[in-house]
A and B are shown apart, each in its own frame.
Chain A
Amino acid sequence: MKKLLSILLVALLLIGTLSGCSSKKELKIGFNTQLTGPDSYIGQAAKIALEERVEEINKAGGIGGYTLKLITYDSRSEITDAVAAAKRLLEQDKVHAMIGPEWTGAAVPIAQIANDSKIPVIATTASNVSVTVDDDGNVYPYMFRTCFIDPYQGYALADYAYVDMGLRKVASLTDISAAYSVGIQKYFKDHFEELGGEVVAEEGYQANDQEFRAQLSKIDQTDAEAILVPTPTYRDIALIAKQGAALNMGVIYLGVDGWVAEELLEMAGPELEGSILTSGVSSDQPQFAEFNKVFEEKHGIKPNVYAYYALDALEMIVYGANESLKAHNEITAQGIRDAIENMKDVQLFTSKMTMEPDTHNPHNKPALIIEIKDSNWHQLKMFEPES
């Protein structure tokens, strides 16, 4: 019995070292995502969506004789694992481009790896400024992203809260262990106070906290008209809204794209009635209705914005591959990178995309202002950047 087990285990480990051998004309795309643990909702729908799209392209003949191959690795939301997965994709599997990771903490070290291996990486929802640009303002040449950046989201939300909603006093409850959360709070505060508003209380918590009543009671004693809760995951805001309702706070919440998950509406739809959030995309936009319906019927789960962003990244790579074929008659990582850097008004899954060559952020990506009404998302306004 023992012997059998040990032989099985050794065999299992050996299979691992033998994977990834092939010689066909392939366009290899890596996907570095979160498939296990509490944040698996981020990666699971995205993985299915990508696989489906890759299959579709392959059925239609691939790209100029190249078949697409998607290689997915799970980072289980750990930075170390995401870095190791990126190394494996970029240096062992030698992909032409990589999609992911989804969060800033992992994306920053991976920007370095992308530079070293000279393979383009498209982070999906890693929104901190430092993902694509270093401290001195130099762009990482191989790092891109599909989402808008934190300062922009904080700015848009503050603008809407002050001008359109007429709020003057806002409290904030921030996940102080998440770069994303801290960043948005900072930029929101800057712009909100610049406009003449006041942030009357700044409370914090740490990732995976379950209990927010202490912070909420403190906020309750101030005269805040709304609470800004820039949480990286829907779980936090769901718990906060429920506990706030239990305390009879009767305030509305201001949120961010980290909230966006159908699960939030199931968990705390009524408690969040009237709350406002910003997001790059929303699953209730009419152009996705058809896609959503087919996807849900086929796979039994709803696609989410993370799937949309991943599809955007895939379309960017496909565009880059086509351009690379035109320019060099072959698909190379370098060719894909160059094309993505200079892309202008290219139609992707969610919208048209123009890349800013000096920051590698999408140019003028509009922010949607969404209201939660009757336990559903409702788009109120499209916030277009002025510059």
Chain B
Amino acid sequence: MDYLITVGILGGINIIAAMGLAILTGYTGLFSLGHAAFMAVGGYSSALLFMKLNVPFILAVILGGFIAGIVSLFIGIPTFRSQLTGDYFAIATYGFAEAIRLILNKWAYVGGAEGMPGIPKLSNVWVVLGFTVVLAYLANNFTHSQHGRNCVSIKQDEVAAQMMGVNVFKTKLMSLFISAVYCGIAGGLMGFYFSYLIPALFGSGRSSDMLASIVFGGMESLIGPIITSFLLFAIPQLLYVLDKYRLIVYGLLFVVMMIFRPQGLLGYRQMSVEDFKRTISSFKNRFKKQGSAADKGEQ
């Protein structure tokens, strides 16, 4: 049971980070290869706030998120001002993330490459669940707000969006800021769960895993990345029984998934009560059909 809770907690942390990236990549169409850096900033700053300045745990995590948001402006303002998009923006974020990791590796105050041990273990399943639910609610509201729609319009056609009066620079910056706050909070929760932070936790592998869960879950969908970011963590855990074939099967799942559903698990769909009803009724119909077919067979 404890182990399942661990999977739940780490999965929940992944979900929070993925929701942030979904707003930036899924909705605004900006690919980032460096969001692990914002997790690192959030993680380290919330741990420092807690340990050095005695800020209460929950507040420290939230403030850590906002510090990550502020740090994101350092990369956001210059890149958006010079209108870097697509691959160029992705590479800029990648470089930025490496720079953050290098700084942390060299910074003796936070332990450098030897990491920062001794963080109290305060993240539990309720805290993570609470953060996940509240942040999911906020993210959902954002995507349905005018700002969220502005993001989508930028993704679909930047020039047209500008013509319509959308402030492209500001909207992109807001999207980046929010995504960094989410990742920062995820990083904070992670530090307080592992009770240890080390720059190696926030390597480029984590950034690309996050991006994979967005593409996998479906662009312009929140629930898609929520599901996939959890699954991408949970599936390798369940596959432990396969021993050394585990990662082969895991890779195979990726390939099969991309062949059969190139638009992602949920594509452009959003989760809503209507969807649930539709799914249930379609199941009912199918059973009815099968049932009646079977009846006929008996006769």
The answer to whether A and B assemble together is: yes
A interface, CB within 8 angstroms of B: 2, 5, 9, 12-13, 15-17, 19, 35-36, 72-74, 76, 78-81, 83-85, 87-88, 91-92, 104-105, 108-109, 112, 117, 128, 130, 134-135, 175-179, 181-183, 206-207
Asked if B2 contacts A91 (CB within 8 A), the reply is: yes
Pick from B102, B114, B196, B237: contact of A88, CB under 8 Å: B237
A-B contact count (CB 8 A): 114
Contact partners of B1 in chain A: CB under 8 A: 91-92
A179–B112 Cα distance when bound, in Å, is 8
Q: Digit string of B106-126 for contact with A (CB within 8 Å is 1, else 0)?
A: 100000111101100100000
A selection of 29 A-B contacts at a CB cut-off of 8 Å is A5-B256, A12-B249, A74-B240, A74-B243, A79-B198, A80-B10, A81-B236, A83-B10, A84-B6, A87-B2, A87-B6, A88-B240, A91-B6, A92-B1, A92-B2, A92-B4, A104-B114, A112-B121, A117-B2, A130-B115, A130-B117, A176-B105, A176-B106, A177-B199, A177-B200, A179-B198, A182-B112, A183-B114, A207-B200
> Across chains A and B, which 8 residue pairs bring their CB atoms closest together, nearest first?
A16-B238, A92-B3, A91-B2, A179-B114, A87-B6, A109-B194, A109-B196, A182-B113
13 additional contacts, CB 8 Å, given A12-B249, A92-B3, A135-B118?
Answer: A16-B241, A74-B247, A85-B240, A88-B6, A91-B2, A91-B3, A109-B195, A130-B115, A176-B105, A177-B101, A179-B113, A179-B198, A206-B101
A177-B105, A182-B113 as given contacts; A84 in contact with B10, CB under 8 Å: yes
What is the interface of chain B mostly: helix, strand, loop, or mixed? Answer: helix
What is the interface of chain A mostly: helix, strand, loop, or mixed? Answer: helix
A176–B242 Cα distance when bound, in Å, is 35
Number of B residues, CB within 8 Å of A: 42
Contact partners of A177 in chain B: CB under 8 A: 101, 105, 113, 199-200
Contact partners of B138 in chain A: CB under 8 A: none
Asked if B3 contacts A108 (CB within 8 A), the reply is: no
Asked if B121 contacts A182 (CB within 8 A), the reply is: no
Contact partners of B200 in chain A: CB under 8 A: 79, 105, 177-178, 207
A13-B238, A19-B241, A84-B7 as given contacts; A176 in contact with B115, CB under 8 Å: no
Contact partners of A112 in chain B: CB under 8 A: 121, 194-196
A178–B200 Cα distance when bound, in Å, is 8
Asked if A108 contacts B115 (CB within 8 A), the reply is: yes
Contact partners of A72 in chain B: CB under 8 A: 243
A179–B115 Cα distance when bound, in Å, is 7
Contact partners of A83 in chain B: CB under 8 A: 6, 10, 194
Contact partners of B70 in chain A: CB under 8 A: none
A83–B2 Cα distance when bound, in Å, is 13
A57–B115 Cα distance when bound, in Å, is 39
A13–B260 Cα distance when bound, in Å, is 19
Asked if A128 contacts B114 (CB within 8 A), the reply is: yes
A16-B239, A79-B198, A84-B10 as given contacts; A36 in contact with B113, CB under 8 Å: no
Closest to A80 in B: B10
Contact partners of A117 in chain B: CB under 8 A: 2
Contact partners of B238 in chain A: CB under 8 A: 13, 16-17
Distance (Å) between the CB of A40 and the closest chain B CB?
9
Contact partners of B6 in chain A: CB under 8 A: 83-84, 87-88, 91
A2–B261 Cα distance when bound, in Å, is 11
Asked if A80 contacts B201 (CB within 8 A), the reply is: yes
Indicate if B269 sits at the interface (CB-CB under 8 A): no
Distance (Å) between the CB of B245 and the closest chain A CB?
10
Distance (Å) between the CB of A367 and the closest chain B CB?
21
A80–B39 Cα distance when bound, in Å, is 14
Asked if B240 contacts A16 (CB within 8 A), the reply is: yes
Asked if B114 contacts A12 (CB within 8 A), the reply is: no
Q: Which of B1-52 contact A (CB under 8 A)?
A: 1-4, 6-7, 10
Indicate if B253 sits at the interface (CB-CB under 8 A): yes
A84-B10, A130-B117, A134-B117 as given contacts; A12 in contact with B239, CB under 8 Å: yes
Distance (Å) between the CB of B290 and the closest chain A CB?
13
